[in-house]
Every structure is written in structure tokens, then in C-alpha cells.
Chain A
Amino acid sequence: QVQLQESGPGLVRPSETLSLICSVSGDSMGIWYWSWLRQPAGKALEWVGRIHSTGRTNYNPSLWGRVSISLDMSKNQFSLTLTSVTAADTAIYFCGRDWGLWGPGTMVTVSS
């Protein structure tokens, strides 16, 4: 069965760049939407963005200019890059396939 796993640094300094990778196992990446979601502590789930297998991207308007999602189907991975981070970007980040399959999440803290 298909499984997703997030990986990346758990601590990022303010103003620096957050980079996360989602590794997909159990199947080739196929034709799907690959997404990122996050949950700041005590707050609601927030959709970050997605990339289609064709390369088309959609991003949360509140993150425009700071967010980028890319796909590497040869490695069965996709990645999230978020620049100029602040404490408000501290959250659990989830990667997902289409609407229904999500990874266990990874905690990212923005702090000096």
C-alpha cells in the first residue's frame, strides 16, 4: 500500500528557509495531486499548496511569494520550500496525495 513520510529539519531559524521532503513508497507517483497541509499548535488545519503530476501548482494565497512545491518523480518524492520563515510558520506539516492519503506529519519549529 502507498505510504507517505515527511522529513526535514525540526528547527529553522527566523528569516531562513524551511525545506521538507515527502517520500512516497509502495507505488509509483502516477497521476495525482501531491499536497502539503499544516497545523500550528492550537490552531486550525491550514492548506499550504499542491502540485499536480503535470507540474501545475496551486498555493495558499496567504503564502504567495514564499512557498514553492516541486516534484521529483524519478525519486518518488516531492518537496516544500518556504522562505523568510517566522514563528507563525511553526507547525506540524503533513504531506498528502490527493484528498485522502496523508503522512504522519513532522513538527517544524521556527526559533533562534
Chain B
Amino acid sequence: QSVVTQPPSASGTPGQTVIISCSGSRSNIGDNSVNWYQYLPGTAPKLVIKSNYQRPSGVPGRFSGSKSGTSASLAITGLQSDDEADYYCAVYDDSLSAVVFGGGTKLTVL
């Protein structure tokens, strides 16, 4: 059981908007920046959002991140079939002195 919680699954049709949540506590999301990864099993994780809302170079503007209090969200607008993947939030936890990953959300594009 991870200290940051994500829904196990999410889905949407092409063109729709999907929002994936990440819930934690003051010691992690509350006091530190959240990062989001897109992951296809067996391949290198791809950082799609860093420091709560910043998009790394090359990541489409359809991806956006936000944070409020002890929760963070990843939004994907104009959903495409290529977006089908597992998405993870990751953040440093001051109490554990360790990085924690959420349990992952499997996004299905219907």
C-alpha cells in the first residue's frame, strides 16, 4: 500500500479529457513537488510533468498538471490512442526521507 494513492484505472474515448488523481499527505505532496510518469511496461519511464505543472521539452501541451494541498492531478486533453499507458505520480516524502510512487493508474483509450 503506497503512501500516495491513485485510482487503479481510468478510461476515455479519443478526443475526451481524462483526469488522474494522486492523493497524499503533508509530508509528501503537501510540502514537495509532484512528478508524473507515463510508463509502458518494459520501457523507460517517460516524465510528462515535473514540479507539479511543468512540461518537459517534447511533451505535448495536451498534458497538464496541478496541485492543491495534499492532492495532485494529471489531465490529458484531446485523448489519443497513443496515450494508453500506465501513469504514476512520484514525490519525495520528508517523513520517510525517500521518494514514493503512487500505485499507478492504467489508462485505457476506448
Which A positions have Cβ atoms within 8 angstroms of B? 35, 37, 39, 44-47, 49-50, 58-61, 92, 94, 96, 99-100, 102-105
Contacts and interface: CB of A to CB of B under 8 A. Distances in A.
A3 B9 CA distance: 32
Interface in B70-110: 88, 90, 96-104
A46 B98 CA distance: 11
Interface of B: 2, 35, 37, 39, 41-45, 47, 50, 56, 88, 90, 96-104
Contacts of A61: 96, 98
A47 B50 contact: no
A104 B43 CA distance: 6
Chain A interface, >50% SS class: strand
Contact of A99 (B2, B41, B90): B90
Contact of A105 (B43, B50, B88, B100): B43
A47 B91 CA distance: 10
A47 B104 CA distance: 13
A90 B61 CA distance: 36
B75 to A, nearest CB: 19
14 contacts: A44-B88, A44-B102, A45-B37, A45-B45, A47-B90, A47-B98, A47-B101, A58-B98, A59-B98, A60-B98, A61-B98, A94-B45, A100-B56, A102-B45
Q: Which 3 A-B pairs have the closest CB atoms?
A: A102-B44, A100-B47, A47-B99
Contacts of B50: 99-100
B44 A99 contact: no
B99 A58 contact: yes
B101 A46 contact: yes
